[in-house]
Amino acid sequence: MKVITLEEIKENININEVLSELKKSFIYYSEKKIICAPITQTHFPEKNADIHIKSGYLKDDKYYYIKIAAGFPENYLKNISPSQGVIIALNTTTGIPEILINDNGFITDTRTALSASLCAQFFGDKEIQSVGIMGCGIQAYLNAKYLKFIFPCLKNLFIYGRNYSNLEKSYEKFNDLGYTVNLTANANNVLMNNKLIICTTSAKVPYLFRDNIIPGTLIIALGADDGIKQELCPSVLLQAKNIFVDSSHQCLQYGELSHAVKLYPKIQDNILELGDIFSKNEAYISSESYSVIDLTGLAAQDIMLSRYIINKL
């Protein structure tokens, strides 16, 4: 079996090429060119950790991909990355496992953050100078890093965290990205000062409410990738002008949307899949209200990036 190492992956990826592959992944998913198996999720409540397995294949492709992604937040106490995982490529003719991508969760972390950046690039203000990020962990950092790459004009970064001590510890890493960094333990401070909001926490109780959301705001929620996590109050989705999702099926089961439709079932009539929007190349955002993008993470994203890496090497 061929093994592709994390070092090889990092040496061979190009951000603009990855953005292109991610855009295709959403389109292929909505067009049903990529077949995804049901997601397997296992939670470890005593460790506040989880393991997700996502798998599938691109029609007529050589490989079927199985991704195992683990999130163990307390790993930092052992000087180990909280994100772990591997991707296995099996031959679709023989079923033989031929390639192991030993990415240590890098692909999952990268595609998650860059998918938010792709949405911001497609729907957002091209001259944006300020962004608000909820959370101060890996996803918060990667989102800040890639947004700075896509929007060089970005100057101000507002970071919200429930634990101010952790916020203060993270200040330097965000400051080193070239931002003027503003730390706050009050989510409303972020909402009142930004029209681009990225939600990256693993919160299980909503902290973001529709009060103080500025008209024209784009909220990208990527923290709730299962049925337990929740960052947005359901009324945020109820009042949104547009709701865009990576997968209507997944979001109704796992994402922010899954919580909102229990209270407001008609919300599901207002959702559009990103793949359908990207394929038409039509970005429409209301300047009088606000829009929400619910990202739960697709096997399609992992498949397209795995193919990209294999072709590179």
pLDDT of residue 287: 78
pLDDT of residue 85: 93
pLDDT of residue 73: 84
Integer Cα distance of 229 and 212 in angstroms? 23
Integer Cα distance of 199 and 132 in angstroms? 9
Q: Quick one: which of 211, 190, 196 has its CA closest to 151?
A: 196
- If you count them, how many residues does the chain have? 313
Q: How many CB atoms lie within 10 A of CB 150?
A: 18
pLDDT of residue 244: 96
Q: Quick one: which of 280, 269, 276, 215 has its CA closest to 243?
A: 269
Q: Which residues of 77-89 are buried (b: 16+ CB within 10 A; e: fewer)?
A: eeeeebbbbbbbb
pLDDT of residue 224: 73
pLDDT of residue 6: 96
Q: Give 87's DSSP letter.
A: E
Dihedral pair phi/psi, residue 182, rounded to 5°: -120, 120
Asked if 116 contacts 134 with a C-beta cutoff of 8 angstroms, the reply is: no
pTM of the model: 0.94
pLDDT of residue 81: 86
Instruction: Report percent pLDDT > 70 for the chain.
Output: 100
pLDDT of residue 254: 85
**Residue ranges of the chain with pLDDT lower than 50?**
none
Two tokens at 24? 């295709």
What pLDDT digit, counting tens, does each position of 102-144 carry?
999 999 999 999 999 999 999 988 889 999 999 999 999 999 9
pLDDT of residue 197: 98
Strand 34-36 and strand 49-58: the pairing is antiparallel
Q: Quick one: which of 288, 293, 296, 238 has its CA closest to 121?
A: 293
pLDDT of residue 82: 87
Asked if 4 contacts 100 with a C-beta cutoff of 8 angstroms, the reply is: yes
Amino acid at site 69? A
Q: With the CA atoms of 113, 117, 119 and 125 taken in that order, what torsion angle do they form, in degrees rounded to the nearest 10? A: 150
pLDDT of residue 166: 86
Asked if 179 contacts 106 with a C-beta cutoff of 8 angstroms, the reply is: no
